[in-house]
């Protein structure tokens, strides 16, 4: 296929990074920003504040505050904590606690006394949030069928409506803590079923391969800004339910933009929706200040290309099952990479938020977000060099592995240095996350790109679920073991990505490009010439022009 006849080159003629892309990048990234907000709700809304067992009424003169100014109160409090925070002065299991609200305010952990033997219950909220990400497997498949725009609209409206309803119930109805836990778990579940993966794809598919790294970087930077927003919201709210309302209000402000969300030209092309594709390209060109003379001729050459028609027919003859089986080894490797990457990301990010004894968690998260942003920018620059996607990922993964190995040896004796090393680890793992989000869509054709991204997100959520559960289940005594296990997993991850193809300087593949590559592989392996269209083939693909619209009616070859 001639390199000049491709959708990517037509898109370049229309303007692949002009006013149209910039406007929609700004508004689409309000959705990715919201994803960062909901992801880090758990850090603040379900934070574990400092606590102690309430002292007897005849001694506890200031029972409502964690820090008592009464000397006798302090003496007894210190004596109790030398035994166990979960026991009273007599060594019995405590049932009534006092919490320090000076840092987080009133958290859901305090609401339900989810500490000591009940500590594991609160991890349901983190688990339900990550389980919601499993739906990406389904939404990715549906997005390949109905389009990026429709899925973004459906998911964003649902993200607003269901949490809004559950919060109404939590706010207005008196209920026990178990019912509150169930409702907040449902809230968390639907808060995680967001449009982030679909927005990420759309951002990349609105431009050419020359700017996919920039498009992907804008999405993850939006996510990072979301981390800063949730930190500010939490500092203002100081209450777990009030914080939820602020988040819901944010998504309410996004809803009007859903009407203006554009469709992906790559998806329209893959679905042979040529009339809609022409309208889409004309809108892009007009907004970017390009005339029809600059792009329309190339578009007609693309649609009329007989080689393209043949490749399109060949691809259409393949079933979804055949496509998935063909790409199964590649999908499996991407699934493993997604799982390990997110496991490390959540481990380091949540760990920074929990270090409130040394540095304020608000400062930690904001600094971490800035560091994360630097990591994203560093990765977006490095993947455009000779290192490409693969070797850039390997470099950042090796540095993450080194940080993870160092932390357990210094976390008790050098807390400040531990935070510094953790922040470096967050920078490197954030860079690795960006690379995988850009790299995975690039190694799959348009027709299964949503499915591939869905599988990648699905397994990533499994890793994100495991991180907090393993930490709580093992406790501080065995925490060091997890660092060593995670380091080993990063080594396997490096081996996995080494076996995958490099995508630097490679056009964003359509289904026809993939078929062309398969033909080239057959030619290389078997020495067979790829099938070329003859006159009969060309004549069997009639083209109808109506009101400057193009319909290509593919018939049987």
Q: Are 144 and 449 in contact (CB under 8 A)?
A: yes
Each residue of 262-292: pLDDT tens digit?
A: 999 999 988 889 899 999 999 999 999 999 9
> pLDDT-based confidence at 556, cuts 50/70/90?
very low
Based on the fold, state whether residues 122 and 87 are members of the same structural domain.
no
Based on the fold, state whether residues 237 and 364 are members of the same structural domain.
no
Q: Are 145 and 446 in contact (CB under 8 A)?
A: no
Based on the fold, state whether residues 68 and 81 are members of the same structural domain.
yes
Based on the fold, state whether residues 229 and 187 are members of the same structural domain.
yes
Please tell me the pTM assigned to this model.
Answer: 0.77
d(CA 236, CA 158): 26
Q: Given this model, what pLDDT does residue 368 score?
A: 77
- Bridging pattern class, strands 97-99 and 543-546: unpaired
Based on the fold, state whether residues 42 and 189 are members of the same structural domain.
yes
CA distances in angstroms from 224 to 190, 368, 470, listed in the order given: 21, 9, 25
d(CA 135, CA 132): 6
Q: Which residues partner with 551 through β-bridges?
A: 544
Domain stops at, among 317, 346, 370: 317
Based on the fold, state whether residues 184 and 216 are members of the same structural domain.
yes
Highest mean pLDDT among 16-25, 136-145, 358-367: 16-25
Each residue of 422-456: pLDDT tens digit?
A: 888 889 988 999 899 888 888 888 778 888 888 88
More confident: 325 or 557 = 325
Based on the fold, state whether residues 249 and 131 are members of the same structural domain.
yes
More confident: 142 or 1 = 142
CA distances in angstroms from 318 to 36, 144, 311, 315, 515, listed in the order given: 38, 15, 11, 5, 11
Whether residue 43 is contained in a domain is answered as: yes
Whether residue 508 is contained in a domain is answered as: no
Whether residue 412 is contained in a domain is answered as: yes
Based on the fold, state whether residues 204 and 57 are members of the same structural domain.
no
Tokens 């959708």 map to which residue?
7
Whether residue 524 is contained in a domain is answered as: no
CATH number of the domain enclosing 396: 1.20.1250.20
> pLDDT-based confidence at 245, cuts 50/70/90?
very high
pLDDT, mean over the chain: 80
d(CA 511, CA 518): 11
Q: Across residues 118-136, what is the average pLDDT?
A: 83
- Among the residue ranges 47-51, 54-58, 361-365, 375-379, the one predicted with the least confidence is 54-58
Whether residue 512 is contained in a domain is answered as: no
More confident: 5 or 406 = 406
Domain stops at, among 471, 503, 535: 503
Domain stops at, among 291, 317, 343: 317
Based on the fold, state whether residues 193 and 258 are members of the same structural domain.
yes
Based on the fold, state whether residues 6 and 20 are members of the same structural domain.
yes
Each residue of 456-504: pLDDT tens digit?
A: 888 888 888 787 777 766 666 666 777 788 888 888 888 888 888 888 7
CA distances in angstroms from 215 to 139, 403, 451, listed in the order given: 21, 29, 20
Q: Across residues 329-333, what is the average pLDDT?
A: 88
Q: Given this model, what pLDDT does residue 302 score?
A: 85
> pLDDT-based confidence at 53, cuts 50/70/90?
confident
> pLDDT-based confidence at 240, cuts 50/70/90?
very high
Based on the fold, state whether residues 221 and 246 are members of the same structural domain.
yes
Domain count, the chain: 3
Q: Which has the closest alpha carbon to 203: 154, 142, 264?
A: 264
CA distances in angstroms from 5 to 297, 308, 423, listed in the order given: 11, 9, 46
d(CA 320, CA 312): 15
Q: Are 33 and 218 in contact (CB under 8 A)?
A: no
On the CB side of 118, how many CA atoms lie within 13 Å of its CA? 18
Based on the fold, state whether residues 472 and 381 are members of the same structural domain.
yes
**Assigned token pair, 226:** 């979301």
Quickly list H helices, 46-147: 71-83, 108-112, 123-132, 136-146
Whether residue 38 is contained in a domain is answered as: yes
Q: What range does the domain containing 346 cover? A: 319-503
Whether residue 108 is contained in a domain is answered as: yes
Q: Which has the closest alpha carbon to 506: 394, 389, 391?
A: 389
> pLDDT-based confidence at 312, cuts 50/70/90?
low
Whether residue 206 is contained in a domain is answered as: yes
């Amino acid at each position: 296929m001639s390199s000049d006849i491709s959708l990517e080159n037509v898109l370049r003629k229309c303007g692949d990074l002009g006013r149209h892309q910039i406007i929609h990048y700004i508004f689409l990234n309000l959705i990715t920003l919201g994803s960062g907000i909901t992801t880090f709700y758990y850090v603040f809304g379900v934070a574990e504040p400092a606590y102690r067992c309430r002292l007897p009424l005849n001694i506890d003169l200031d029972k409502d505050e964690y820090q008592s100014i009464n000397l006798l109160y302090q003496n007894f409090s210190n004596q109790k904590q030398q035994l166990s925070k979960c026991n009273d002065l007599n060594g019995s299991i405590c049932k009534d606690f006092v919490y320090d609200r000076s840092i987080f305010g009133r958290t859901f952990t305090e609401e339900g006394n989810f500490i000591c033997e009940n500590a594991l219950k609160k991890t349901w909220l983190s688990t339900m949030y990550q389980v919601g990400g499993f739906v990406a497997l389904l939404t990715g498949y549906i997005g390949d069928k109905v389009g990026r725009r429709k899925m973004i609209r459906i998911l964003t409206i649902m993200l607003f409506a269901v949490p809004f309803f559950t919060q109404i119930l939590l706010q207005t109805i008196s209920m026990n803590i178990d019912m509150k836990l169930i409702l907040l778990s449902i809230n968390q579940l639907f808060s995680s079923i967001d449009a982030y993966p679909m927005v990420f794809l759309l951002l990349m598919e609105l431009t050419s391969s020359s700017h996919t790294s920039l498009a992907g970087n804008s999405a993850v930077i939006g996510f990072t800004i979301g981390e800063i927003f949730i930190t500010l919201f939490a500092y203002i709210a100081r209450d777990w339910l009030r914080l939820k309302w602020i988040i819901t209000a944010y998504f309410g402000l996004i809803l009007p933009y859903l009407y203006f969300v554009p469709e992906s030209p790559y998806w329209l092309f893959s679905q042979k929706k040529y009339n809609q594709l022409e309208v889409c390209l004309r809108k892009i060109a007009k907004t970017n200040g390009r005339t029809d003379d600059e792009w329309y001729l190339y578009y007609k050459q693309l649609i009329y290309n007989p080689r393209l028609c043949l490749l399109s027919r060949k691809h259409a003859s393949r079933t979804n099952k055949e496509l998935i089986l063909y790409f199964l080894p590649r999908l499996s490797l991407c699934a493993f990479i997604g799982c390990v990457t997110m496991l490390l990301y959540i481990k380091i990010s949540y760990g920074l938020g929990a270090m409130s004894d040394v540095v304020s968690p608000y400062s930690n998260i904001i600094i971490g977000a800035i560091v994360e942003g630097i990591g994203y920018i560093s990765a977006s620059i490095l993947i455009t060099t000779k290192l490409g996607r693969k070797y850039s990922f390997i470099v950042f993964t090796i540095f993450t592995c080194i940080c993870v190995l160092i932390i357990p040896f210094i976390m008790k004796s050098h807390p400040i240095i531990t935070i510094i090393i953790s922040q470096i680890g967050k920078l490197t793992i954030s860079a690795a996350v960006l690379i995988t989000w850009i790299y995975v869509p690039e190694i799959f054709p348009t027709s299964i790109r949503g499915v591939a991204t869905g599988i990648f997100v699905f397994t990533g959520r499994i890793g994100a679920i495991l991180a907090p559960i393993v930490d709580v289940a093992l406790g501080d005594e065995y925490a060091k073991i997890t660092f060593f296990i995670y380091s080993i997993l990063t080594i396997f991850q490096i081996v996995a990505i080494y076996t995958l193809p490099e995508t630097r300087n490679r056009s964003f593949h359509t289904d026809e490009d993939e078929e062309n590559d398969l033909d080239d592989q057959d030619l290389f392996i078997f020495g067979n010439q790829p099938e070329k269209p003859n006159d009969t083939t060309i004549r069997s693909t009639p083209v109808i022009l109506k009101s400057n619209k193009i319909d290509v009616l593919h018939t049987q070859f």
